[in-house]
Amino acid sequence: MTAEDIKNGQVIIIDKPLHWTSFQVVNKLRSAIKKKFKFKKIKVGHAGTLDPLATGLLIICTGKFTKKIDSYQAETKEYTGTITLGGTTPSYDLETEVDKTYPTDHINDELIKEATSKFIGEIDQIPPLFSAIKKDGVRLYDLARKGETTEIKSRRITIYEFEIINIIIPNVDFRVVCSKGTYIRSLANDFGKSINTGSHLSALRRTKSGNFNVNEGISPEEYTNILFGDTKS
């Protein structure tokens, strides 16, 4: 790998670790690239944000390939994860604590599997208040963390596949294939409502995006080691 390779454009497939923000991954890789090749500046960006509590596929682009970010972001995504039934959280995941609890005695495997059909196809989805969407120039999660609320418009998204992998109530493991702009946290929240309970997302992993697969990914540390020759590139 040369300085020209980086400038002309590289796609780096990262398996994002838990608790890292997508920006932290970009920042680490950019800093390493600048140090390695003695760049004063270099364009590095990611194609699709992952929440800190999510792991998995993060597509990083360098140099001229940053122009491809929009097209990569538009690709179909695949996720696996766990929905926990019986309680909601303000963020729809584990970033915030459970604020309301609901009964789950009426829920069985058949009810859960049948409910997935309600979400297949084009649906209107309201993004979480705890999200990076901007309203009047302010990120919604900044408002949410201050305790402020605001009206959020629904978005038309597409769920191509929604498969239940395992059920050990209150936890439901799933696989979802969906369009750009889908919030799996919102899907988890809405899923609970569809079976007359509350729910939240307790684990999430992005496994595919377009033709890219997380199996091809490496950690930010592994990329840095490769870059500096600790492992053969």
CA atoms within 13 A on the CB side of 4: 0
183-199 confidence digits (pLDDT tens) = 999 999 999 999 999 99
Residue 51 appears among annotated catalytic residues: yes
- CATH for 3-74+212-227, options being 3.30.750.24, 3.30.2350.10, 1.10.579.10, 3.40.605.10: 3.30.2350.10
80-97 confidence digits (pLDDT tens) = 999 999 999 999 999 999
Neighbours of 22 (CB within 10 A): 21
77-209 — its CATH code?
3.30.2350.10
Please check whether the two domains, 3-74+212-227 and 77-209, share a CATH topology: yes
51-78 confidence digits (pLDDT tens) = 899 999 999 999 999 999 999 999 999 9
Whole-number pLDDT of residue 233: 41
Q: Per-residue pLDDT for 111 more than 60?
A: yes
Q: Per-residue pLDDT for 210 more than 50?
A: yes
Tokens representing 30 are 């950019």
Per the residue annotation, which of 5, 15, 51, 136 is the catalytic one? 51
The helix/strand/coil state of 111 is helix
What residues does each domain of the chain span? 3-74+212-227, 77-209
Question: Does residue 52 have a cis peptide bond before it, meaning omega lies within 30 degrees of 0?
Answer: no
* Residue tagged 């829920």 (tokens): 107
Longest dimension (CA), the chain: 62
pTM given for the model: 0.91
